[in-house]
Chain A
Amino acid sequence: MKLLNEKSKTGSSSFNVRLLDIQTNIPEELQRVDLDLPELSEVEVVRHYTNLSKSNFGVDNGPYPLGSCTMKYNPKINEVAAKIPEFNIHPLSQHNKGALDVIYQLQEYLCEITGMHAFSTQPAAGAHGESTGIMIMRAWFEKRGEKRTKVIIPDSAHGTNPASVSLSGFEPLQVKSSQSGGIDLDDLRQKMSKDVAGIMITNPNTLGIFDENILEITEAVHRHGGLCYLDGANMNAMLGIVKPGDFEIDIMHLNLHKTFSTPHGGGGPGSGPVGVTEVLEPFLPNPRIIKKKDELGFEQSEDSIGRVHSFYGNFSILLRAYSYIMAIGSSGLRNIAENAVLNANYMKEKLKEHYHLPYDRICQHEFIIDDSLMPNGVTTNDVAKRLMDFGFHPPTIYFPLIVKGAMLIEPTETETKENLDAFIEAMKVIKEEAKHDPEKLKKAPLKAPIGRLDIVRAAREPKLTWHST
Chain B
Amino acid sequence: MDYTPNTDSDRESMLKEIGVHDIMDLFKDIPEDLILKSPLRIPDQLSEFELIRELEKISKKNKKLLSFLGGGNYNHHIPSTVNAVTSRGEFSTAYTPYQPEISQGTLQAIFEYQSMICELTGMDVSNASMYDGATSLAESMILASRIKGKKQVLVSQAVNPFYREVLKTYARANEIRIVEIDVKDGLTSDFETEGSSAIIIQSPNFFGLIENLDEIRKKTEDILLITSTTEPLSWAMLKPFSEYDVDIVTAEGQSFGNPMNFGGPGLGIIATKNAYVRQIPGRLAGETVDIHGNRSFALTLCTREQHIRRERATSNICTNEGLCMLAAAVYLVTYGKNLRRLAQLNNQLAVYFAGKLNQIEGIDMVFDKPFFNEFVVRIRKDILSKLSDIEIGVSLENYYPDLKDCYLICCTEMTPKEDIDRVLHEITQ
Could you tell me if B334 and A307 are in contact, using CB atoms closer than 8 angstroms? Answer: no
Q: Which residue of B lies closest to A313 (CB)?
A: B264
User: B325-345: which residues lie under 8 A (CB-CB) from chain A?
Assistant: 326, 330, 332-342, 344-345
Could you tell me if A93 and B90 are in contact, using CB atoms closer than 8 angstroms? Answer: no
A contact residues, total (Cβ < 8 Å) = 195
| B58 interfacial contact with A, CB 8 Å | yes
Distance to closest chain A CB from B160 (angstroms): 8
| B189 interfacial contact with A, CB 8 Å | no
B contact residues, total (Cβ < 8 Å) = 189
Which A residues are CB-close (under 8 A) to B59? 84-87, 98
| A26 interfacial contact with B, CB 8 Å | yes
| A443 interfacial contact with B, CB 8 Å | yes
Could you tell me if B172 and A305 are in contact, using CB atoms closer than 8 angstroms? Answer: yes
Q: Which residue of B lies closest to A258 (CB)?
A: B319
| A317 interfacial contact with B, CB 8 Å | yes
| B124 interfacial contact with A, CB 8 Å | yes
Which B residues are CB-close (under 8 A) to A16? 338, 341
Assembly CA distance A330 to B60 (angstroms)? 26
Across the interface, A37 reaches (CB within 8 A) one of B263, B317, B333, namely B333
Could you tell me if A167 and B75 are in contact, using CB atoms closer than 8 angstroms? Answer: no
Could you tell me if B237 and A263 are in contact, using CB atoms closer than 8 angstroms? Answer: no
User: B88-132: which residues lie under 8 A (CB-CB) from chain A?
Assistant: 88-97, 99-106, 108-109, 111-112, 114-116, 118-120, 124-126, 128-129, 131-132
| A426 interfacial contact with B, CB 8 Å | no
Which of the 9-residue segments A58-66, A186-194, A220-228 touches chain B?
A58-66
Contact with A along B1-14 (1 / 0, CB 8 A): 11111100011011
Could you tell me if B102 and A449 are in contact, using CB atoms closer than 8 angstroms? Answer: yes
Across the interface, A388 reaches (CB within 8 A) one of B99, B302, B394, namely B99
Q: Is the interface of A mostly helix, strand, loop or mixed?
A: loop
Q: Which residue of B lies closest to A394 (CB)?
A: B99
Known contacts A35-B340, A99-B262, A267-B320: A309-B166 contact under CB 8 Å? yes
Which B residues are CB-close (under 8 A) to A422? none
Assembly CA distance A330 to B36 (angstroms)? 12
User: A232-275: which residues lie under 8 A (CB-CB) from chain B?
Assistant: 240-243, 246-247, 255, 257, 261, 263-270
Could you tell me if A465 and B111 are in contact, using CB atoms closer than 8 angstroms? Answer: yes
Contact with B along A132-162 (1 / 0, CB 8 A): 0011001000000000000000000011101
Could you tell me if B262 and A267 are in contact, using CB atoms closer than 8 angstroms? Answer: no
| B401 interfacial contact with A, CB 8 Å | no
Known contacts A25-B351, A458-B298: A343-B262 contact under CB 8 Å? no
Distance to closest chain A CB from B265 (angstroms): 4
| A198 interfacial contact with B, CB 8 Å | no
Distance to closest chain B CB from A193 (angstroms): 19
Across the interface, B73 reaches (CB within 8 A) one of A92, A163, A212, A414, namely A92
**Can you name 9 extra interface pairs (CB under 8 A) apart from A61-B90, A75-B1, A453-B291?**
A15-B79, A89-B262, A246-B34, A269-B320, A309-B166, A329-B43, A332-B1, A450-B290, A464-B285
A-B contact pairs, 5 of them (CB 8 A): A26-B237, A86-B59, A127-B317, A342-B6, A450-B294
